[in-house]
Chains A and B, each alone.
Chain A
Amino acid sequence: MSIYAVNKLCRDALHDLTFREALKRDPRSAIAGLSLTEQERSALLNGDVAWLYERGAHPFLLAYLTRWDLFGLTVERYSERIRAAHEPASRE
């Protein structure tokens, strides 16, 4: 269920300028207070968008991260990684 927090993080990066700046400055601290599993946390910090997609993170929201290269996700890197992803079992 906490993949919801990943989706919410992506949305907040778009809408909340303070949060976005914190993500740029120090991503680990910026997401420290979020309700994420350790695997989700490390997938985010590693920019592992394929893993997040496969667990149900919404691609429209994940793609926001490339607008500011958050978690090291340039468009090129994002594209390369997501293109290797498998379809998720479910999404909500």
Chain B
Amino acid sequence: MAEIVAAFGVPHTPNFPALVAKQGPDCRTATLYAEIARHLQAARPDVLLIYTDDHFNTFFLDNFPIFAIGIAEETSGPNDQTAMPSYRVAVQGSLARHLRARSIAAGFDLSLAQDFALDHSIMVPLHFLTPEMTIPIVPFFINGLAPPLPSSQRCYALGQLVSAAVADWPQDQRVAVIGSGSFSLEIGGPRIPPGERAGTPDPGWAERVQEHLEHARVGELVAEATPARMAQAGNIGGELLNWIAMLGAVGSRKPVFIAPETEHGHAYAAWRLD
């Protein structure tokens, strides 16, 4: 039977690859991602299950799912002109198919993507965590950008259901779960700073989220992450839902590593479950 051995939360800011290429391996972004990569390698996962929000690249507003899963042999990215190398990566289609069937049976009606590429929201984390692209992924899409968003309760319940479904996938594989995104971020909306195209309007909320994570107060976090609260944290604040779905696997465990960057509205965190 499969086992979830670790969970991670990371930001996916699209300028990170170019920033690190310019500033080198000692800059803060490189150091923090390297720390997460060390924890990931130590957990020896065979599969990465990644919760993310597509930024209108894999899907568009003509047909935009609340929840979707990617089932294919492989995929590629980035498909959104992010300044970084292009990669191909295997998809663990058997697990994805199993998770889709279990989710739908439990009332989570996942949309299906079979011919797709991925944007920076998955490719930036993979670029830093597994640049050899040797670990197959399962991409799990949650709408965090186009209101109305799914509720935090719904995303947490989905994460719990998926976590249980991984445990009865009849393959002896080690699975790591990743939640990708920011807690406070505004792009192109009224709360950006003068002269900028993006900003962090609510670092206080990012700090509160980080404290809930650090002290394993998942119930409080889910209760407080209402649509209005997340919207107040910025028009990209719904990316917290990717972390909340990931926490469905973590439950009340405390992280083995957490580094806040509240001034940037995000954090890096790692949990061991084995």
Residues on A facing B (Cβ under 8 Å):
4, 7-8, 11, 14-15, 53, 58-63, 66, 75-76, 78-80, 82-87, 91-92
Contacts and interface: CB of A to CB of B under 8 A. Distances in A.
Contact of B60 (A11, A75, A79, A85): A11
B56 A60 contact: yes
Interface in B70-95: 80-81
A66 B192 CA distance: 14
B196 A75 contact: yes
Contact of B56 (A58, A82, A83, A86): A58
Contacts of A78: 188, 197
The interface residues of chain A, by DSSP majority, are classed as helix
B60 to A, nearest CB: 6
Nearest to B61: A7
Interface in B159-192: 186-192
B192 A14 contact: no
A92 B63 CA distance: 11
B235 A59 contact: yes
B188 A76 contact: no
Contacts of B198: 63
Contact of B197 (A15, A58, A63): A63
B204 interface: no
13 contacts: A14-B81, A58-B56, A59-B186, A61-B56, A62-B188, A82-B188, A83-B191, A83-B192, A83-B194, A84-B190, A85-B190, A87-B190, A92-B146
Contacts, number: 69
Contact of A91 (B80, B147, B187, B192): B147
B195 A60 contact: no
Given A4-B62, A63-B188, A91-B146, 7 more contacts: A11-B60, A60-B145, A75-B195, A78-B197, A79-B193, A82-B192, A85-B189
Contacts of B56: 7, 11, 58, 60-61
Q: Which 9 A-B pairs have the closest CB atoms?
A: A63-B188, A59-B188, A59-B189, A85-B190, A63-B197, A60-B187, A62-B188, A75-B197, A76-B195
A82 B198 CA distance: 11
Residue from A11, A58, A66, A78 whose CB has the most chain B CB atoms within 10 Å: A58
Contacts of A60: 55-56, 145, 187-188, 235-236
Contacts of A84: 190
Contact of A66 (B80, B147, B197): B197
